[in-house]
Chain A
Amino acid sequence: MPILVEIDHRNARSTLLVTPLERLRPCHTRRVACDAQGRPCRAVWQTWDGLPLPPGGVAQGYEGPDGHTVPRADVVATDAAGQPLRVLPATTRRPQRLEGPVPVDELLAHVVTKVYGVTAERLDPALRQSLQQGDIYRVPFRPRAATGDAPAFLVENASGIFLLQAAPCRFDWVTRAQVVAADADEDEMDEDVWAADAWDLDDLRLREEGDR
């Protein structure tokens, strides 16, 4: 089901239909773990002592400092200082103001968490021209109400228009004296943010020749 996004840019409104890119693909690939007999395995969580927990075998809840269970409805998100965060409404069904063009560094300060293909029901010609020239725009995009701001970037290439849902990153300047020890920090694991393995490199063909 496409999501309707209305955006305002320089007193002109555009209406976009956005669909997760994996749903637009005609075929999907996925990797399945199989045992020695070729039967599909089930993914489980394993506790530190090796107890396998199948899907549905884990209950998640919230607990207070003394161990009492707190109902989900009574849990409030706060900032680091303990101030309750305002719940930001979903951005669908409400026109959003487009910011930009933003510098490419702003997009490079994020990682993409989801890609949407965009079908323009009504697109401001000036905005279309700007996108075709390679400009990048930022727009608030929350399919659901949330306490955190979720930026998204609107870009266009020869294939079409895309909305890139993103999460912020932070790169620091480092000097010669700031040596990082090899055992400094734990690493993040590979997150399964892509629903389909259609993004496998088999399907990728970067057209580097023209850009070299």
Chain B
Amino acid sequence: MIRQIRLADHGGRDAICGLLPVRVPDARRWQDLAGQPVHALRRVRATAATHPEALLAQYPDPDDLAQALIAGDPEWDPGALGRPTGPCTRGYVDGDGQPCYAPQWTELRSDGQGTVGACRPLPSRPANLVPATPPVWSGVLLPRQTLVRRVAFVRAYQVVHQDALQFDFLYELAQYLQQRQVMVQIGSGRQGRGPLICERNGRPYRGFLDGRVQGEAMRLGLYLAAGELTIPEGTP
């Protein structure tokens, strides 16, 4: 399933289009010294119950831990140890070592030495690429040469159509941007300049569209910027 985004154009129209990742995949292969193909594999070494930290929590006294290791092999889970992990997802375990399916997010702010100064709870942020209400054309047009020196584009997608009407919509949008040699900012909110969040509780980005047309073909890229290129004040 590809991502989708709801885009507005300069004419007040909007459409839900597809997003294709554009990162060039790593084409390298691996082989051993004999020329045989080799593949990377992850295997289970310890589970949450057999991990050294869990054992230390269970047996705070080193002598008790040593005795338990000799007597019962608590570090050994024959059903899990050594098995391939397969594809994994990210999860969380709470302070008791139990799965936490709905963690609450807190932001910690620390100084340069790592001392935590303040923390604040973060509200849950849903993804907003396909809002329920039509997005707004921001009208913020920025020259490419200026923009690439101001922000760092850390993610990019190709905006693609899923039917012919969408193609006409995207083609006109790309043509509009190419004629002006600019990129347009897209985003959430009433002014269309708010952050774009691709995944629930994901990192907010500023989005920019770059469009090109060549005859009957078009190319519309969505660039996501994570930050502005600024050197902090006081840096030598």
Which chain A residues have a beta carbon within 8 Å of chain B's beta carbons?
21, 24-48, 50-54, 56-65, 70, 74-80, 82, 84-85, 104-105, 107-108, 111-113, 115, 117, 119, 134, 136, 147-148, 155-157, 159-160, 162, 164, 167-176, 178-190, 193-194, 197-201, 203-206, 208, 211-212
Contact = CB atoms under 8 A, between A and B. Distances in A.
Nearest to A41: B92
Q: Which of B99, B108, B160, B229 has the most CB of A within 10 A?
A: B229
A104 B145 contact: yes
Given A26-B232, A169-B22, A136 B141 contact: no
Nearest to A71: B32
Contacts, number: 350
A57 B91 CA distance: 14
A169 B154 CA distance: 11
Contacts of B36: 64-65
Contacts of A82: 29, 31, 35
A194 B141 contact: no
B94 interface: yes
B216 interface: yes
Interface in B184-222: 185, 193, 195, 198-199, 202-206, 210, 214, 216-219, 221
Given A62-B41, A65-B36, A171 B221 contact: yes
Given A108-B210, A136-B148, A204-B227, A32 B106 contact: yes
B64 interface: no
